Amino acid sequence: MLNPRLDELMTYPFERLSRLLDGVAPPDGVTPISLAVGEPHHAPPSFVATLLAAHADDWGRYPPNRGTPGFRAAVAGWLAARYGLPEGFIDGETHVLPCAGTREALFMFALVAVPQRAAAAAPSAPPPAVLVPNPLYHVYAGAAVMAGAEPVFLSARVENRFLPDFGDLPTDLLDRVALAYLCSPSNPEGAAATLDDLTDLIDLAMAHDFIVAVDECYSEIYDRDPPPGALQAAAAFGARRGDALEHVVVFNSLSKRSSAPGLRSGFVAGGAGAIAAFARLRNFASCQTPLPIVTVAEHLWRDEEHVRTARAGYRARFDVAEASLGGRYGFYRPDGGFFLWLDVGDGTAAARRLWAEAGVRVLPGACLCPDAPEYQPPGARHIRLALVHEPHTIGEALTRLRRVLN
């Protein structure tokens, strides 16, 4: 048992998938294709290996908790250019920290925000709340529970552009929110919040004094327009609300942008107060990023060429998917990310049939929702397909999918 509440609430999605497919075998003679796991297949740029080798001496040094000035400047510069931020809005020295990929940082940040909110409340007050989308990246709920908060799930459905609706929450709930997680573009739906969505959420955070934690790890895999970001929304408040940034923290990484999940390298950026508190926590408990990796990361954030190439590669994959599935299963080209989110009526039954009859492994949407039946509906009709393989493999998998689900 890890934590009774967590055990009851969330099983790791791939554990659920393994249980679901336990005892089910693909047909004889069919080569299985897994579209279940969202692991990029593009090669990271060759300078990654060269730089790692050139900086091998740095493996012998303890890495500083805050990374290097070069890394922080590269991230601040990238954010300014990507989101058109005003000069100095993000200062690498006060607003940026390295992290070992977004997963650990998304988790650990709750350990800062939740106790702060609890300390500000009366001892007899109900526990702080953490708003999380549903379906969700399981870490958000895990972080909320392990930090001692109540996770409150906000359904993301087609009628709300697949985004959680923060608009109608009761005041007594909002007053105890410590943190609101948002994933944009989202996993699994690929829905990007608009600048208005983001400013509305930051407005709400300012009114009720909570922090908006935006997981932007899919921000660079987009089809047409670059999705707006939460720092851009904070900057849009201008001098009118100079404290907007204090209510925002964003998380990004090289795992998707640079097809380098193995590097375990990302960043957290946001208000100086939140970043200082997070740096303090990380002095006790962080996975510091080794210096050779910090150096590689600095170069990757300064290079856009490899990102453009990967983006074009994903576009080609979506072209294949659209040609194969367009007009079926609620197909749409997502704003961002590399997942298809298909409405197949009963995602769990479809996943079993696809594995048993076609050797195609997909993740049922229900596995991306909390375990209890009352939380399942937002994902129950769907399956998630990661379009990370070569286009011809994707084409083959989708042909098999159509044959089974017709």
Q: Which residues contact 151 (CB under 8 A, 6 or more apart)?
A: 9, 129, 130, 132, 140, 141, 144, 145
Residues 132-171 vs ligand PLP: string with x where CB under 6 A?
Answer: -----x----------------------------------
**Hey, how many other C-beta atoms are within 10 angstroms of the C-beta on 4?**
9
Nearer to ligand PLP, 78 or 396 (CB): 78
Of 66, 103, 138, 247, the one binding ligand PLP (CB under 6 A) is 103
SS3 152: strand
Cβ at position 140, least distance to ligand PLP in Å: 9
Nearer to ligand PLP, 208 or 389 (CB): 389
**Hey, how many other C-beta atoms are within 10 angstroms of the C-beta on 87?**
6
Cβ at position 188, least distance to ligand PLP in Å: 8
**Binding region for ligand PLP (CB under 6 A) out of 4-12, 101-109, 121-129, 193-201:** 101-109
Of 33, 163, 182, 183, the one binding ligand PLP (CB under 6 A) is 183
Of 77, 115, 261, 273, the one binding ligand PLP (CB under 6 A) is 261
SS3 191: coil
CA neighbours closer than 13 Å in the CB half-sphere of residue 150: 11
Give the angle 34-132-66 at the CA atoms, nearest 5°: 85
- CA-based nearest residue to 71, from 295, 307, 276, 306: 295
Q: Which two tokens stand for residue 8?
A: 């009851």
- Which residues of 94-135 form beta strands (DSSP E)? 96-99, 129-134
Nearer to ligand PLP, 235 or 363 (CB): 363
d(CA 251, CA 382): 27
Nearer to ligand PLP, 255 or 295 (CB): 255
Nearer to ligand PLP, 266 or 270 (CB): 266
Q: What CA–CA distances, in Å, run from 374 to 97, 124, 318, 322, 378?
A: 38, 29, 33, 33, 10
Kindly state whether residue 266 participates in binding ligand PLP, applying the rule CB under 6 A.
yes
**Hey, how many other C-beta atoms are within 10 angstroms of the C-beta on 380?**
17
Kindly state whether residue 286 participates in binding ligand PLP, applying the rule CB under 6 A.
no
Of 155, 184, 253, 259, the one binding ligand PLP (CB under 6 A) is 253
Residues 188-217 interacting with ligand PLP (rule: CB under 6 A): 215, 217
**Binding region for ligand PLP (CB under 6 A) out of 10-18, 95-103, 239-247, 388-396:** 95-103
Q: Which two tokens stand for residue 113?
A: 């925000």
Name the helix (H) or strand (E) containing 25. Answer: none
Kindly state whether residue 232 participates in binding ligand PLP, applying the rule CB under 6 A.
no
Nearer to ligand PLP, 32 or 262 (CB): 262
Question: What per-residue string of b and e applies to 220-240 under the rule 16 or more CB within 10 Å gives b?
Answer: bbbbeeebbbbbbbbbbbeee
Q: Which two tokens stand for residue 239?
A: 């001098």
Q: Which residues pair with 336 in a beta bridge?
A: 222
Kindly state whether residue 348 participates in binding ligand PLP, applying the rule CB under 6 A.
no
Kindly state whether residue 219 participates in binding ligand PLP, applying the rule CB under 6 A.
no
Nearer to ligand PLP, 190 or 347 (CB): 190
Cβ at position 201, least distance to ligand PLP in Å: 17
- CA-based nearest residue to 271, from 359, 192, 212, 222: 212
Spatial contact of 90 and 80, defined as CB atoms under 8 Å apart? yes
Residues 25-54 interacting with ligand PLP (rule: CB under 6 A): 38
Of 26, 40, 101, 292, the one binding ligand PLP (CB under 6 A) is 101
Kindly state whether residue 182 participates in binding ligand PLP, applying the rule CB under 6 A.
no
The residue ranges that bind ligand PLP (CB under 6 A) are: 38, 101-103, 137, 183, 187, 215, 217, 253, 255, 261, 266
